[in-house]
């Protein structure tokens, strides 16, 4: 094989330049990346103008990133790549609750609240009681599970997207289960919303004839000693965007009941149990 670059031997030439004593996992991952990247350019016969456009797109994607905005994660999400990596790394036994995309709007340090507390602080939206149990694969309650929840407000924005308009920690909270594994809190019936689409990823979606909407959902991060971390949502059945989620996060097992109730201040009840997998 020639040490000089040729179109035919492009992959072998690039990969042969790797040193002998490098991290074996790095060598494997990079060799495969180069192989598939070159195959992509060859398959579509990538033009120079198209690659210049691609470089410009990636540059703009980087430039819009900040402490509050992660456009590369949005890119990964909208290409289905986040869900693919998640699926590869979270193959669960049947009966265990499935993972879905984490998203960019989780904030560490949300207040730990007594069971049954209200997390909606802006008074907007239709109150909804979320309740259920955190259990193991045998249905036994898990004590000491941390149920960290977050959702958008009734206008479709997370508190961190509107720091001047929404109270801090609006629609967020952490609930720790007791002996019975039960959790409950009052939030709002979530509403569908567009992911941030004023940057390069939004333009990409528009060029591809795709909308930026996510179906209404409540986010959960459930952790307990001795069990795998569960990153998931529950979705509102019947949402217009269930089958066209901009980030491919919907799984049928995660569509939860939302039952309308007539009494008290609560308009809806959404029961859902989380089944954790042992580590
Ligand atoms: C979210 O559900 O919060 C989300 C997920 C992926 C991209 C943007 C938002
Ligand atoms: Fe969300």
Q: Report all structural domains of the chain as residue ranges with CATH numbers, in order of start.
A: 1-46 (no CATH), 81-275 (2.60.130.10)
- Tell how far CA 26 is from the center of its chain: 26
pLDDT band per the 50, 70, 90 thresholds, residue 266: confident
Atom of ligand 1 nearest to the CA of 82: 6
Kindly report the protein residue whose alpha carbon is nearest to atom 4 of ligand 1: 103
Nearest residue CA, atom 3 of ligand 1? 103
d(CA 221, CA 232): 6
pTM of the complete model:
0.92
Q: What is the pLDDT of residue 201?
A: 98
CB 172 near ligand 1, within 6 Å: no
Give the H/E segment covering residue 56: helix 48-63
| Closest ligand 1 atom number to CA of residue 103 | 5
Residue 269 CB less than 6 A away from ligand 1 = no
- pLDDT at residue 82 is higher than 80: yes
Testing ligand 1's pocket by substitution, the residue of 75, 78, 101, 156 carrying the most ligand atoms inside 8 A of its CB is 101
CB of 83 closer than 6 angstroms to any ligand 1 atom = no
Spell out the alpha helix ranges (H) of 66-199. 71-78, 81-89
Nearest to 272 by CA among 95, 171, 131, 129: 131
Interval between CA 126 and ligand 1 midpoint (Å): 21
Average pLDDT score over residue span 214-219: 98
Residue 265 pLDDT: 75
Cβ of 189 less than 6 Å from ligand 1: no
């Amino acid at each position: 094989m020639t040490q000089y670059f040729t179109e035919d031997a492009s992959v072998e030439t690039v990969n042969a330049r790797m040193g002998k004593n490098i991290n074996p996992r790095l060598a494997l991952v990079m060799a495969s990346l180069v192989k598939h990247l070159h195959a992509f350019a060859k398959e579509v016969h990538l033009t120079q103008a198209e690659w210049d456009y691609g470089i410009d797109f990636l540059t703009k994607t980087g430039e819009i990133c900040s402490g509050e905005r992660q456009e590369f994660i949005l890119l990964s999400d909208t290409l289905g790549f986040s869900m693919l990596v998640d699926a590869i790394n979270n193959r669960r036994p049947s009966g265990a609750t499935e993972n879905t995309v984490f998203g960019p709007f989780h904030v560490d340090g949300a207040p730990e609240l007594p069971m049954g507390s209200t997390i909606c602080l802006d008074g907007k939206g239709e109150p909804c009681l979320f309740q259920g149990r955190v259990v193991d694969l045998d249905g036994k309650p898990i004590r000491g599970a941390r149920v960290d929840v977050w959702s958008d407000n009734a206008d479709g924005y997370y508190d961190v997207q509107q720091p001047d308009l929404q109270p801090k920690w609006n629609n967020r909270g952490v609930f720790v289960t007791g002996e019975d594994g039960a959790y409950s809190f009052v939030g709002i019936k979530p509403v569908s919303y567009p992911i941030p689409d004023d940057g390069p990823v939004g333009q990409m979606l528009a060029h591809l004839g795709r909308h930026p909407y996510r179906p209404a959902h409540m986010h959960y991060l459930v952790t307990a000693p001795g069990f795998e971390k569960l990153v998931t949502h529950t979705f509102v059945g019947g949402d217009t965007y269930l089958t066209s989620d901009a980030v491919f996060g919907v799984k049928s097992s995660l569509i939860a009941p939302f039952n309308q109730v007539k009494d008290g201040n609560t308009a809806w009840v959404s029961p859902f149990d989380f089944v954790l997998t042992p580590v």
